[in-house]
């Protein structure tokens, strides 16, 4: 039996690898686009380098969930960590842009395994209030991890836009705590009845959780995908400055995660969703109106705080709705919703950017989120 602190640390380390998928190379996107200027639609293609892992995750996470429900958790987790380091670092040595896209797809397959397994293990290891506390802590640590990875990514991108890819070798380092401190849940324990019905699925509520998450992620992902280009558009050329703006968003998300337990204590699930999306709407409205770098920073603080509240709320709701015997599959569905939103974000919003401007696109997103928040505030009984 492993120690509780060691188990918690291992889960947190593995969870941080998820946010690195995009945060690490986001500041390098403008320089990558410059390097491949001869490629048709290069700005869209380089944004897809950021989001292609999300497509792979969306496709593979449900399968990963079925595998860990049918077999065991840790075999898939360990294999996924090996693939994470290999596929992630491949961008450093590959020179064809489409080969880099292929390696990013393989990275997504790895993350589908790590994230789905981590969510399921949280459900296996923790119950009730302990689970809520861990979800808030995990979101907090992931936000800090994003700060570190995007900061390092920005600094390395100013040296050479390929260097941030080397940070993905941390997946191999994460194998050590995963092997030392994570044990396979006993089948009976992993499937023991909890407060809810162990066999019935609240299909409507699970679908609502997935849909709300998909919408919010499409909007949130404008920050890593579009913000580096907006920062350049207002006259700031430094990749490190773009990385710093994204890092500030992640710091604000950490603050939101720290505030989540109190918000959740006094509000239902849907009300917390409404508060979170409203904060994101305010932030994007400020970014859309920003004429300077520091005005952008004020906007990302508000939107980041909302993101930090949103994600632990979603994962807790889905875990509460999941019958233990189907925990892996339902966790896989949430993982798929999150990363399908990441993949769709540039595809859905790039036409808006092309037909208006980056600032206007953030403003339109702010209006859409404000309407969603108002709608959620009117249906608090859904949860």
Q: Which domains are delineated in the chain?
A: 4-182+199-382 (1.20.1250.20)
User: How far, in Å, CA of 378 to CA of 27, rounded?
Assistant: 38
Answer for the pair 60, 112: CB distance below 8 angstroms, yes or no: yes
What pLDDT, on the 0 to 100 scale, is given for residue 199? 52
Condensed to tens digits (0 to 9), the pLDDT of residues 304-343 reads 999 999 998 998 888 888 887 788 888 888 888 988 888 8
State the distance between the two ends of the chain, measured CA to CA, in whole angstroms: 36
Answer for the pair 57, 331: CB distance below 8 angstroms, yes or no: no
Condensed to tens digits (0 to 9), the pLDDT of residues 277-288 reads 999 999 999 999
Asked if residue 106 has pLDDT above 90, the reply is yes
Cα–Cα distances in angstroms (integers) from residue 62 to residues 116, 316, 331, 353, in the given order? 8, 18, 8, 32
pTM comes to: 0.78
Q: Could you count the other beta carbons within 10 Å of the beta carbon of residue 293?
A: 17
Condensed to tens digits (0 to 9), the pLDDT of residues 157-199 reads 888 989 999 999 999 999 999 999 998 887 654 444 454 444 5
Q: Could you count the other beta carbons within 10 Å of the beta carbon of residue 145?
A: 22
User: How far, in Å, CA of 311 to CA of 301, rounded?
Assistant: 16
User: How far, in Å, CA of 111 to CA of 83, rounded?
Assistant: 9
In degrees and rounded to multiples of 5, residue 24 shows phi and psi of -65, -45
Answer for the pair 155, 240: CB distance below 8 angstroms, yes or no: yes
User: How far, in Å, CA of 314 to CA of 292, rounded?
Assistant: 33
Q: Could you count the other beta carbons within 10 Å of the beta carbon of residue 73?
A: 23
Answer for the pair 76, 117: CB distance below 8 angstroms, yes or no: yes
What's the average model confidence in pLDDT over 206-215? 93
Cβ contacts of 298 within 8 Å, gap of 6 or more: 286, 290
| Region of 196 on the Ramachandran plot (φ > 0 left; ψ -120 to 50 alpha; else beta) | beta
298: helix, strand or coil: helix
Cβ contacts of 58 within 8 Å, gap of 6 or more: 336, 337, 339, 340, 343
């Amino acid at each position: 039996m492993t120690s509780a602190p060691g188990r918690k640390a291992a889960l947190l380390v593995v969870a941080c690898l998820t946010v690195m998928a995009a945060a690490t190379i986001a500041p390098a996107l403008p320089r990558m686009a410059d390097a491949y200027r001869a490629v048709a639609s290069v700005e869209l293609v380089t944004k897809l380098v950021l989001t292609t892992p999300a497509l792979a995750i969306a496709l593979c996470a449900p399968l990963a969930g079925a595998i860990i429900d049918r077999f065991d958790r840790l075999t898939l987790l360990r294999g996924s960590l090996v693939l994470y380091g290999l596929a992630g670092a491949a961008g450093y040595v590959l020179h064809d842009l489409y080969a880099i896209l292929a390696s990013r797809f393989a990275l997504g397959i790895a993350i589908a395994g790590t994230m789905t397994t981590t969510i399921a293990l949280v459900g296996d290891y923790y119950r009730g209030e302990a689970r809520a506390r861990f979800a808030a802590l995990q979101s907090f640590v992931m936000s800090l991890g994003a700060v570190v990875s995007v900061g390092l990514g920005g600094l390395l991108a100013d040296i050479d836009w390929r260097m941030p890819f080397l940070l993905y070798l941390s997946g191999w380092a994460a194998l050590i705590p995963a092997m030392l401190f994570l044990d396979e849940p006993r089948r009976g324990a992993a499937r023991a009845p909890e407060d809810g019905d162990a066999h019935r699925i609240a299909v409507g509520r699970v679908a609502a959780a997935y849909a709300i998450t998909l919408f919010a992620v499409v909007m949130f992902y404008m920050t890593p995908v579009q913000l580096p280009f907006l920062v350049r558009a207002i006259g700031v050329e430094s990749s490190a400055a773009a990385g710093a703006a994204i890092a500030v968003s992640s710091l604000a998300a950490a603050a939101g995660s720290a505030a989540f337990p109190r918000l959740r204590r006094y509000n239902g699930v849907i009300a917390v969703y409404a508060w979170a999306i409203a904060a994101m709407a305010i932030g994007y409205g400020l970014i859309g109106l920003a004429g300077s770098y520091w005005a952008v920073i004020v906007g990302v603080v508000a939107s980041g705080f909302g993101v930090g509240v949103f994600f632990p709320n979603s994962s807790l709701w889905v875990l509460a709705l999941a019958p233990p015997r189907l925990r892996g599959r339902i966790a896989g569905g949430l993982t798929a919703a999150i990363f399908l939103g990441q993949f769709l974000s540039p595809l859905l919003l790039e036409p808006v950017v092309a037909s208006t401007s980056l600032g206007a696109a953030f403003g339109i997103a702010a209006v859409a989120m404000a309407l969603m928040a108002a709608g959620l505030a009117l249906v608090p009984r859904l949860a």
